[in-house]
Every structure is written in C-alpha cells, then in structure tokens.
Chains A and B, each alone.
Chain A
C-alpha cells in the first residue's frame, strides 16, 4: 500500500495533467493544435515568470508579496520613459530592470537589517509601489498623445522593437514572451537544482541556524533572493507593457495571487513538497491548459477562479494530506 501512496504522491499530479491533455484533445481536436498550445503558454507567461521569481523567496522561507506591484510599476515606468520622456526603448528596459533590482534590495534590507518579518516588509513595499506607480502620470494610463498634467501632449511612442518583445512571434508561431519565459525557467531550474548556490538557498530555507553555523553569510543570500525576485518581476513588467502596448494603470491586478497559487501548486508536482522551479512552471501551465480546455468545452468564464482554487486545494491536500506526517 505504501508503495502505491508514494507513487501517487510523486506522479499523481503529472498523471492528472497528462490525462486532461489527452481528454481535452479527444473531446475537442483543435485543442491539440500548435497555435492553441502557444496560446496557452502565452496566456500564462507573465504569471509564470512571476511564479519563478516568488519561488526564490519561498525557498529561503520568505515570501515576496511585492512581485505584482513591481511588475506593474515597471509597466508604468517603461511606458513613461518611452512616451513621456521620449527616450530610446533600451533605456525603458534598463531603467525597469534597475528599478526591480532596487526594490528587491530594499525588500532584502528591510527584512535582514531592519528585521521586519518577510510578509510584512514586502506587503508594505507592495502598497508603497502600487501608490508610487500612479504618481508620475497623475493616475492616468500612459499612451501616445496623452495630455500631461502641465497641459502638453506626450509625443513619444512605444518603439516597434519594444512592441515586438510582447506581440511578436518567432517563425510566425512562437510568441516572444514565451521564449523569454522558457529561458528564465531553464536558467532558474539549473541554478536551483545544480549549483552550490541553489543548494545553499534550499538549506537556508530548511535550517537557517545550521547553515549559519556552517559559516555561510545567510543575510547576503537572503537579500540576493529578494533581489532576484525583484529583477524577475521587472522582466515580467517589461513584457506585460510590450503585450498591452500601453502604460495601463489597471495591469497587474490579479498577478500576485495567480503567481503564488502556481508556486504553491508546484509543491505537488513530483511530490517535492517544497517550492521548486519545475513545479511552479508545470503548475502554471496546468492551470492555463485546464482553463483553455474547459473554455473550449463551453465552461462559463466566471467559473475560472473557482477552478483555480479547486486545483490549488486539491494539489495541497494531495501533497500534504496523503503523506505520513513527520513528527
């Protein structure tokens, strides 16, 4: 019996995922088309990138709640740089990434030096950033030709090259954001699974005292985790701005919770029971595939949040409920 339970915990999630993939395709053949697959991936790319970022902080037993806000402010900043300041799009990208690094640094310092608990520090930053993003444009969305607070018209526009990042396709098929997501996923997986660096991060999450006694500068690693989270969030923000094509003040609304849900579902993938890169990616793709398939089978759009919640709760029960409790 125990062998079966272990098997269920380890492969259950992937089996359910494979089963749904087959089932949807059999019921609706257009589900299996390449265009649909890439459609699913494009839909979950932004949340997926954010999930990768939050995974780092979850590993060190922290929690970066500011990821959604960081992505949103990068949407506004990159739009501002291109449309209001009329600068080259390269500056928009560089400034956004710099902003992401800075936010991560502040988060890290608040937690490590000011000793504020992770959740509280990042929550505070989240509100701060959400408010900050509205100030440069006086609360308005940023688009070409918008009237600025001083009465003049904004002359800059979203560069074609920048928009290509969000709306372009390689070989007319693969959306560019999906390629960025794939690259980030591979790098993250590699760093966390196969480098000493990644192993130390996991160790810090497991037993901080032991790692400290072993001579590791835990504080520096923790700050690094938050800086990485901030940077990855800024990349998500840049891509989001490129996809929408406008500095939309409403962007970033549900991103935080969707990303966290994906990262938590990742615990159930391969029965790892820890935050992990592969799990976060698989989790996010599973949700995307589920919502896509069910929509093709005429599931009303307003039930989607319910489905997401159901999957999350089931995944967690599966992961934690099935295994023998460790005392």
Chain B
C-alpha cells in the first residue's frame, strides 16, 4: 500500500515539475526575459473594439502573444476615450511589463502614455500619435492606402467623377488618408467632392447607411463614394442596395475582411476596390514591437506597414471567397516582414 502511494506521488510530482518546466521553458535562443526567466504580461489598450478590422487585429496580437509566451490582457470600451486613459493607469497599477495603445485621441492619451514610461513600462502605439520619442509609432502606410484606392477611382472614371466622401475628422489614420484625397482633388479637377458625411456611432455600418441614403436622395448626381474604412464602406454599400442604386455607383475603400470580400465578389456589387493590409499582421507586429522593447532591443520609431490594392474584378477572377484564401494567394499581403528575429516563433496556421 505504502509503495503504491509513493509511486503515485512521484508520478504526480514528476508531472508537476515537467509541466512547470514546459511553462518556464522560454524560447530557444531568446534574450531575457523571453528565455523563460519571467512570465511577461502585456496590456493591449484599445479605443475601438467594433468591426472586423479591430477583431482581426486583436486575433493577430493574441496569436503572436501566445507564440511568445506572453500573457495578453485586453482593455477596451468602444469609443470611450476617458475610459481608455484610465485603462492605462489601471495597467500601470497592475505592474504590466509592456503596454500597446491601439487607436485613441492624442490629447487624451499623451499624458497616460508618458506616465507609463515614467513608471518604467515600455509603450508602443498603433494609429495614435503620442508625440513621444520613446514610443514607437506603428501605422499602416495610410497615405498610400488612400492613394491606391483613389488612383483606381481616377482610372475607373477617367478623371471625372462626382464623389461622396464618407470619413470622420480627428481619427489619425483617417486624417492621413484624407491628405491623399486632398491631393487627388487638386491633381484631378474633374474629381469633385459633392458631399462629406460619416459617423463612428455604433453600429457604424448601419448609422452610416442612414446618412448615405439621405445623401443619395439629396445628390442624385453622385456616381462614386470614397470611404477609407471598411465599416464606413459597408454602410455605403448597404445604403446603395437599399436605394436600388448599386449598379449606378461605385465604392472605393480601405481595409478588407471576409465580410467585405463576400460583398465585393457578388456580381452586382458596387464595391469596386479596396486598399488594405492584413490587420492580423499589424496586431502581430505590435506584439513583436513591445516584446523587443521589453527585451531592450532597439525598435525603429516609425514602423510602417505597406498596403496592397484589391479590385473586385481581381477577387472574382481569382475565385477568392474569404480572408484565408486571400492570404494564401497573396503571401506578401499575409505576412509582414518587419521586426522578425530568429527567436520569435512564426505563425504556422497562416493567420499572419
């Protein structure tokens, strides 16, 4: 009896120590603390949580965090700027090892981010200008995103179009894409902005659809829309379908997702083209960036993610039905070769 007891005990202890060493294993060839010396805790603090882009970003961040053995705690309350600032302080109180700030207002987040740095916690930012030389800024090449989509618009309409512009001022990536719009308007006087509208009120697509329907009634001469964010684009498409105008108006956007693809490949879809990056890649890059900061490895101040243009014609021709197929057929879209080190595990499931 005693012997059996001892055997069982040793098996349990053995399992305990082996699993413990699995957890404490760390990454091969990695610098501390990723060599297993400490379990790293990172806070991902978000302003926007709604929509496929945001969700895919988070999925990419989570997968990269899992691969690195990082515990990722996500904070976010949709469009609540005051709460976002407070989340940073809560993360500081929780003594996290690193903070990723995902979108937000500069004026609101600059001080909390600076306070985090003062408390010894490294910070990286995505799509919010924290104006701090110690905080790397990650962004899609937003001006190029806008430009790629707009150049396609100019091409499709031979330089003459009446455009409805759906966007919101004050959100950093949208402001950058707006610069491309201003440049295009100057360069091609035949491209006219007939009306500007847009809201980030939840649910974003539905609320924008309401606004665009009104715009269509008031301005029947509009034959194209530029909506540099796919939630806005979805609203425009919904409005066009509900007004029966999907065959008369073309829509040009930024971002791409499975829902977007499914709409774009429909034979009567007004959605002509979109310029995009893989949001999961951006999430992964953000996590890699903060991991490198935590390991005291130098990270460039501006990290720019290059976009690609996708036209509806192309998607239909290549028979692409969802993001998985898109990522397979466009490997350069799929993974972004930035901030990669041999000790950082690569995602084998093809998410980014």
Contacts and interface: CB of A to CB of B under 8 A. Distances in A.
A248 B80 CA distance: 10
A143 B74 contact: no
B339 to A, nearest CB: 26
B81 A42 contact: no
Interface string A134-147: 00000111010011
B95 interface: yes
A246 B84 CA distance: 14
A251 interface: yes
Interface in B264-309: none
B79 A244 contact: no
Interface residues of A, number: 36
Given A42-B86, A250-B200, A30 B107 contact: no
Contact of A304 (B77, B86, B105): B77
B37 interface: no
A42 B88 CA distance: 12
Interface in B79-117: 79-83, 85-86, 89-90, 92-95, 105, 107-108, 111
A303 to B, nearest CB: 12
Given A158-B107, A298-B73, A301-B76, A244 B81 contact: yes
B87 to A, nearest CB: 8
B25 to A, nearest CB: 22
Contacts of A39: 86, 89-90, 93
B86 A143 contact: no
Contacts, number: 82
Nearest to B83: A43
Given A43-B86, A143-B170, A244-B105, A251 B81 contact: yes
B201 interface: yes
B108 A244 contact: yes
A92 B294 CA distance: 43
Contacts of A35: 89, 92-93
B75 interface: yes
B80 A254 contact: yes
A292 interface: yes
Contacts of A321: none
Residue of B79, B81, B82, B168 contacting most chain A CB atoms (<10 Å) = B82
A207 interface: no
Contact of A301 (B74, B168, B169): B74
A248 B74 contact: no
A241 to B, nearest CB: 10
A300 interface: yes
A28 B83 CA distance: 22
B86 A141 contact: no
A253 B93 contact: no
A306 to B, nearest CB: 13
- Interface residues of B, dominant DSSP: mixed
A240 interface: yes
Interface string A228-256: 00000000000010011110101101100
Nearest to A288: B86
Output the residue of B49, B75, B85 with the most chain A CB within 10 A. B85
A296 interface: yes
A33 interface: yes
A81 B77 CA distance: 29
Interface in A256-301: 292, 295-296, 298, 300-301
Interface in A109-155: 139-141, 143, 146-147
A244 B107 contact: yes
B51 to A, nearest CB: 14
A140 B178 CA distance: 14
B94 A296 contact: yes
B82 A301 contact: no
Contacts of B89: 35, 39, 42
Contacts of B82: 46, 240, 243-244, 251
B115 to A, nearest CB: 10
A243 B73 CA distance: 24
Contacts of A46: 82
Given A43-B83, A140-B169, A246 B92 contact: no
Interface in A4-60: 28, 30-31, 33, 35-36, 39, 42-43, 46
Given A245-B105, A295-B75, 8 more contacts: A28-B94, A30-B93, A39-B93, A146-B169, A244-B108, A248-B170, A251-B82, A292-B90
15 contacts: A39-B90, A39-B93, A42-B86, A46-B82, A141-B169, A143-B170, A146-B169, A147-B169, A158-B107, A244-B82, A246-B105, A248-B108, A250-B81, A253-B80, A304-B77
Interface of A: 28, 30-31, 33, 35-36, 39, 42-43, 46, 139-141, 143, 146-147, 158, 167, 240, 243-246, 248, 250-251, 253-254, 292, 295-296, 298, 300-302, 304
Interface of B: 49, 73-77, 79-83, 85-86, 89-90, 92-95, 105, 107-108, 111, 168-170, 199-201
